[in-house]
Amino acid sequence: MNTTRRQAIAATAALLAAARAAAPRGAFAQGSTTPEVRKATLGFIALTDAAAVIIAKEKGFFAKHGMPDVDVARQASWGATRDNLVLGGGRGGIDGAHLLTPMAYLIHTGRIVQNNQPVPMALLARLNTNGQAISVAEKHKALGAKLDATPLRRAFNSDSKVAMTFRGGTHDMWVRYWLAAAGIDPERDVSTIVVPPPQMVANMRVGTMDAFCVGEPWNAQLVSQRLGYTAAVTGELWKDHPEKCLALRGDFVQQNPRATEALTAAVIEAARWCDTPANKAEMCDIIGRRAWLNVAPADILGRMRGEVDYGDGRNLTNIDLTMKFWRDHASYPFRSHDLWFLVENIRWGILPENLDTGPLLREVNREDIWRAAAARAGVPNGETPSGTSRGRETFFDGKVFDPENVGAYLNSLSIKKLAAA
């Protein structure tokens, strides 16, 4: 090869590198939307809010977007999900997951990883809003604790077991908020324990727990087995609150940008399908199968329709408090919502008080990919939000979270455990 040709090739390569560096994140080579790979391995926990990932597989949305070999693999617990994400798909683990939203940040910062080694993560979509619940053991039913947990102050002590699914995760945040709003310090007045979602009911059956917070269908199963009651559904704590997310390892996203967009588009299409009322019964039938939740569809369908038997004589029919996959921008990963989870983890000493949240949000939250994927999935512009914040959020106890003034929110909370470093 002559010198002139080598110089031309080198100059072309340099121009391409410069163009890639200048292009915004999520911008791909023009003229090609074909995924770099046909396969990715995604983890899921046996919860109703994994539906969009399961349906994307079962209904062929992954295949439609050029990834027919996507594997959706059951995980035993959120801890196992974390370990398999750290391992990665190339080493027998997983490339991404149906995940508790804060976990994407806790893994990215290394807070919950062995030796505190960060594993870069990308949060691509919200999988649902609402749809969790706080359940209380049958033995405490007569006290009458509901959205207001104050009656439990007479029964709870430092030996009382309150279960959630992962330290720093969404269920941990909901149950801590609920207790603290009633003057019960979750750090001192009770003992919080970690139990995998599918094991919640079994643990309540043997009398080892006083209360728990988990996603469906496990709260509904507790009621149907008469082992306890639903004190509150989490949409009552904070209407249309964020919950699970679709997250991928950062290296997968970097190496496979078109495949990342394809995966996200498939999950967006599945979310829209799941939120179509005519599809609810079929969705519950599919996710209830042995390969997925291994639960009778009847134990899923009621609460998916907004029909809640609390197990204490209350019955509610309110579709607006039920799990949403697409409606009201449920799928879009608002950065303001991720910020609330970071602030609550700061509140409870899991993340340091001096954490610089801005750069962290920009690193992990890839709403830019969501928007590109939504366009790929044919989502009308009117169904996509105009900004990255949903604005001020008001909770059941009157507290207000303003993403523009998180200090005021933290100062308004009387029960907290801050860590300086």
- pLDDT tens by residue, the chain, 421 residues: 444 334 433 433 333 333 333 333 433 334 578 999 999 999 999 999 999 999 999 999 999 999 999 999 999 999 999 999 999 999 999 999 999 999 999 999 999 999 999 999 999 999 999 999 999 999 999 999 999 999 999 999 999 999 999 999 999 999 999 999 999 999 999 999 999 999 999 999 999 899 999 999 999 999 999 999 999 999 999 999 999 999 999 999 999 999 999 999 999 999 999 999 999 999 999 999 999 999 999 999 999 999 999 999 999 997 789 999 999 999 999 999 999 999 999 999 999 999 999 999 999 999 999 999 999 999 999 999 999 999 999 999 999 999 999 999 999 999 999 875 4
Strands 307-309 and 244-249: unpaired
Backbone angles phi, psi at 318, to 5 degrees: -145, 95
CB atoms under 10 Å from CB of 37, counted, come to: 17
- The pLDDT assigned to 318 comes to 79
- The pLDDT assigned to 420 comes to 59
Can you list the alpha helix ranges (DSSP code H) found in 23-168? Answer: 51-58, 61-64, 78-87, 101-108
Backbone angles phi, psi at 138, to 5 degrees: -55, -35
Q: Please, what's the largest Cα pairwise distance for the chain?
A: 89
Judged by DSSP in three states, 193 sits in strand
- What is the C-alpha separation between 421 and 416, in angstroms, rounded? 15
Contact between 164 and 175 under an 8 Å Cβ cutoff? The reply is yes
**Residue 113's Cα: distance from chain center in Å?**
18
**Residue 153's Cα: distance from chain center in Å?**
30
- The pLDDT assigned to 239 comes to 97
Strands 96-100 and 244-249: antiparallel
